[in-house]
Structure 1
Amino acid sequence: MRVDDASPVHRMLGALGRFCARRPRTVLAVWLLLAVTLVGAAAVLGRPVDNDVALPGSDAQQARDLLDRTGSGGGTGGQLVLRVDDGRLDDPARRDALARVTREVADVRHVTGVDGVSAAAGTLSPDGRTGWVTVRLDVSPRQVDRALARAVTDAAAPAGAAGIEVTPGGVLASAAERGGSRDSELVGLAVAALVLLLAFGGLVAAAVPLVTALFTLACAVSAVGLAGHLVAVPSVAGTLATMVGLGVGIDYALFLVTRHRRLLAEGVPPAEAVARSVAGSGSAVVFAGGTVVVALGGLAVAGVPILGTLGWTTGLVVVVAVAGAVTLLPALLALLGHRIDRLRIRRRRPAPPPATGTGTDGDPDADSGAGPDGDIGAGAGAGRTTGWTRQADRVTRRPWRWALLAVLLLGALAAPALDLRLGQVDAGDEPVGTAGRTSYDRLAAGFGPGVNGPLTVVAELTPPAGSGADPRVTGLTARVAGTAGVARVTPVRLADDGRTVALTAYPRTAPSDPATAALVRTLRTADVPGVAVHVGGATATRVDLADRVGARMPWVIAVVVGLSTVLLYAAFRAPVVAVKAAVMNLVSIGAAYGVLTAVFAWGWGVGLTGLSGPVPVESYLPMMLFALLFGLSMDYEVFLLTAVQESWRATGDNRVAVREGLAGTGRVITSAALIMVTVFAGFVLQDDPVIKMFGLGMAVAVAVDATVVRGLLVPATMALLGRANWWRPGRRSRVGARLAGPSS
Structure 2
Amino acid sequence: MPRRSTTEEQMMTTTESPRTDGALAGLGRLCFRRRRLVLLTWVIGVIVVAFAGFGYGAAPDNDFSGGDSQSARAQKLMEEHFPEEQGDRLTLAIKADKGIDDPAARQKIEKTIAELADSSVTGPVISPYQDRDLVTEDRRIARTAIPLSDKEVEKSEVKPLVDLVKDASGDGVTLALGGYMAEKAETPPQGPAESVGILAAAVILFIAFGSLVAMGLPIVTALLAIVGGLALVKLVGHLLPSPDFTQVFAAMIGLGVGIDYALFIVTRYKDSLRDGDDPESATVKAITTAGRAVLFAGTTVVIALMGLLVMGQRLMTGVAVATSITVLITMVAAVTLLPAFLGFIGYRINSLRLPRRTSRRDREAAVPPQERRTLAERWAGVVQRRPLTAALLAGASLLVMAVPMLSMRLSQPDASVQPRDRSSYISYEILSEGFGPGYGAPLVFATGIDSRDTDLRPVVEAVGEAEGIAYTTPPRVSEDGQAATFVAFPTTGYQDEATADLVHELRDDVLPRVPGGEQVLIGGPNASTIDAADESSSRLPLMIVVVIAMSMVLLIALVRSVTIAVQAAVMNLLSIGAAYGVVVAVVQWGWFGPALGFPTTMPVTTWVPMMMFPVLFGLSMDYQVFLISRIREEYERTGDTRASVARGLARTAKVITAAAAIMIAVFTTSLLGPDLAVKQGGLGMAVAVLIDATIVRMIFVPAVMELCGKANWWMPGRRAPKTVSAPPAEIKGEVRV
The answer to whether the aligner puts 1:490 opposite 2:473 as a matched pair is yes
Distance 1:88 1:293 in 2: 59
1:30 aligns with 2:41: yes
Q: Deviations over 1:1-39 (max 9, x none)?
A: 9xx98669x822222222322233333333333333344
Which residue does 1:535 correspond to in 2? 522
1:386 aligns with 2:374: yes
Pick which of 230-239 and 643-652 moved more: 230-239
Cα deviation, residue 516, structure 1: 0.8
Conserved 8 A contact 1:98-1:116 = no
Aligned residue type for 1:332: F
1:410 matches 2:409: no
Check 1:261–1:233 CA distance in 2 against 1; reply closer, same or farther (3 A cut): same
Q: Which moved more, 1:53-62 or 1:237-246?
A: 237-246
Q: TM-score, normalised by structure 2?
A: 0.88
Q: Is this contact kept in 1: 2:49–2:228, CA < 8 A?
A: yes
Change (3 A) 1:138 1:268: farther
Q: CA deviation at 1:630?
A: 0.7
Distance 1:373 1:494, change over 3 A: farther
Cα displacement (A) at 1:304: 2.7
Q: Distance in 1 between matches of 2:19 and 2:530?
A: 51
* Residues 305 and 344 of structure 1, relative CA distance in 2, 3 Å threshold: same
Deviates more, 1:202-211 or 1:693-702: 202-211
The verdict on how the C-alpha distance between 1:113 and 1:19 changes in structure 2, with shifts beyond 3 A counting, is farther
Map 1:64-83 → 2, pairs under 5 A: 64-72=75-83, 74-83=85-94
Please name the residue that 1:451 is paired with: 439
Structure-2 separation of matches of 1:342 and 1:52 = 51
SS of 2:632's equivalent in the other structure is helix
- 1:291 matched to 2:269: no
Q: How does 1:315-354 map to 2 (within 5 A)?
A: 315-347=324-356, 352=361
The residue correspondences of 1:593-742 to structure 2 (distance < 5 A) are: 593-734=580-721
Query: What is the letter of the counterpart of residue 569 of structure 1?
Result: I
1:162 positional shift: 8.8
Which amino acid in 2 is paired with 1:33?
I
Name the residue aligned to 1:20: 31
Larger CA deviation: 278-287 vs 155-164: 155-164
Match for 1:501 among 484, 505, 509?
Answer: 484
Give structure 1 stretches of 5+ with no counterpart. 354-369, 737-744
Q: Which stretch of the first structure deviates more once superposed, 564-573 or 613-622?
A: 613-622
- Match in the other structure for 1:545: 532
Question: In structure 2, what is the Cα distance between the partners aligned to 1:392 and 1:43?
Answer: 49
**Aligned counterparts of 2:52 and 2:346: Cα–Cα separation in 1:** 34
Number of aligned residue pairs: 706
Whether 1:524 and 2:507 are equivalent positions in the alignment is: yes
Query: Which piece of structure 1 moves more, 60-69 or 592-601?
Result: 592-601
Contact between 2:90 and 2:148, CA under 8 Å: does it hold in 1? Answer: no
Contact 1:494 1:502 in 2 (8 A): yes
Change in Cα spacing, 1:129 to 1:325, as seen in structure 2 (3 Å) is farther
Aligned residues of 1:430 and 1:688 also touching (Cα < 8 A): no
- 2:520 maps to a residue whose letter is V
Match of 1:309 among 318, 325, 343: 318
Residue-by-residue CA offset, 1:677-728 (whole Å, 9 max, x unaligned)? 1211221233333222211111111111111111111111111111111122
Contact 1:97/1:162 (CA < 8 Å) preserved in 2?
no
Determine helix, strand or coil for the equivalent of 2:353.
coil
Q: Residue 741 of structure 1 corresponds to which residue in structure 2?
A: none
* Post-superposition offset of 1:94: 5.2
In the aligned structure 1, how far is the partner of 2:448 from the partner of 2:437? 29
Measured in 2, the distance between the counterparts of 1:241 and 1:176 equals 22
One-letter amino acid matched to 1:413: M
Residue pair 1:684, 1:695 contacting (<8 A) in 2 also: yes
Report deviation, 1:181: 4.3
Matches within 5 A, 1:15-164: 15-41=26-52, 43-45=54-56, 48-72=59-83, 74-89=85-100, 91=102, 93=104, 98=109, 101-117=112-128, 120=131, 122-137=133-148, 139-140=150-151, 143-153=152-162, 159=168
**Distance in structure 1 (CA, Å) of the matches to 2:706 and 2:76:** 59
Aligned CA distance change for structure 1 residues 272 and 133 (closer, same or farther; 3 Å): farther
Query: Residues 314 and 73 (structure 1 numbering): CA distance in 2 closer, same or farther, change over 3 Å?
Result: farther
Larger mean CA deviation between 681-690 and 32-41 belongs to 32-41
CA 1:48–1:129: 2 relative to 1, 3 Å: farther
Partner of 1:365: none
Q: Secondary structure at the match of 2:22?
A: helix
Instruction: Rate the CA distance shift 1:673–1:446 in 2: closer, same or farther, 3 A.
Output: same
Deviation at 1:293, TM superposition (A): 0.9
Q: Does the C-alpha gap of structure 1 residues 158 and 265 become closer, same or farther in structure 2, counting only changes over 3 Å?
A: closer
Contact 2:64 2:315 (C-alpha < 8 Å) held by counterparts? yes
TM-score, normalised on structure 1? 0.87
Instruction: Map Cα deviations across residues 425-458 of structure 1 (whole Å, 9 max, x no partner).
Output: 3221223223433332232223221111111111
AA of the residue aligned to 1:392: A
Alignment of 1:553-592 (within 5 A): 553-592=540-579
SS at match of 1:717: helix
Q: How far is 1:46 from its partner?
A: 7.3
Comparing 310-319 with 146-155, which one deviates more in the overlay?
A: 146-155
Q: Quick one: structure 1 residues 79 and 42, their matched pair in 2 at CA, closer, same or farther if it must change by over 3 Å? A: farther
Residues 1:247 and 1:71: Cα distance change in structure 2 (over 3 Å): same
Pairwise CA RMSD: 3.2
1:528 maps to amino acid: V
1:62–1:534 contact (8 Å) kept in structure 2: yes
Query: What letter corresponds to residue 414 of structure 2 in structure 1?
Result: D
Residue 398 (1) aligns with residue 390 (2):
no
Structure 1 CA distance for aligned equivalents of residues 136 and 222 of structure 2: 52
Which residue of 2 is the match for residue 263 of structure 1?
272
Work out the percentage of aligned pairs sharing the same amino acid: 39
CA apart distance, 1:84: 4.1
Shift of 1:348: 8.2
Q: After TM superposition, give the deviation of residue 731 of structure 1 in Å.
A: 2.3
Q: Distance in 1 between matches of 2:176 and 2:255?
A: 34
CA distance in 1 between counterparts of 2:604 and 2:549 reads 26
Give, in angstroms, the shift of residue 198 of structure 1. 0.7
* 1:385 counterpart SS class: coil
Q: Which moved more, 1:586-595 or 1:89-98?
A: 89-98
Q: Secondary structure at the match of 1:615?
A: coil
1:391 Cα deviation after fit? 0.7
1:349-405 alpha-carbon deviations (Å, 9 max, x no partner): 66759xxxxxxxxxxxxxxxx9x999xxxx999983221121122222332232222
- C-alpha change, 1:659 and 1:97, in structure 2 (3 Å) is same
1:208 paired residue number: 217
Q: CA 1:388–1:231 in 2, change beyond 3 Å: closer, same or farther?
A: same
- Work out the CA distance in 2 between the residues paired with 1:407 and 1:74: 54
* 1:576 to partner: Cα distance: 1.1
Shift of residue 479 of structure 1? 2.5
Counterpart Cα distance in 2 of 1:48 and 1:417? 35
Q: Counterparts of 1:594 and 1:335 in 2: how far apart (Å)? A: 47
| C-alpha contact (below 8 Å) 1:227/1:233 kept by paired residues | no
Is the aligned partner of 1:473 residue 2:452?
Answer: no
Counterparts in 2 of 1:511 and 1:604: CA distance versus 1, 3 Å: same
Matched letter for residue 594 of structure 1: G
CA distance in 2, matches of 1:685, 1:126: 43
What residue number does 1:174 align with? 183
Distance in structure 2 (CA, Å) of the matches to 1:112 and 1:213: 47
Taking structure 1 as reference, are residues 131 and 16 closer, same or farther at Cα in structure 2, changes over 3 Å only? farther
List per-residue Cα deviations over 1:222-246 (Å, max 9, x = no partner): 3334555555422222222122122
For residues 268 and 188 of structure 1, the distance between their equivalents in structure 2, rounded to whole angstroms, comes to 34
CA distance in 2, matches of 1:13, 1:624: 32
Give distance in 1, aligned partners of 2:63 and 2:574. 33
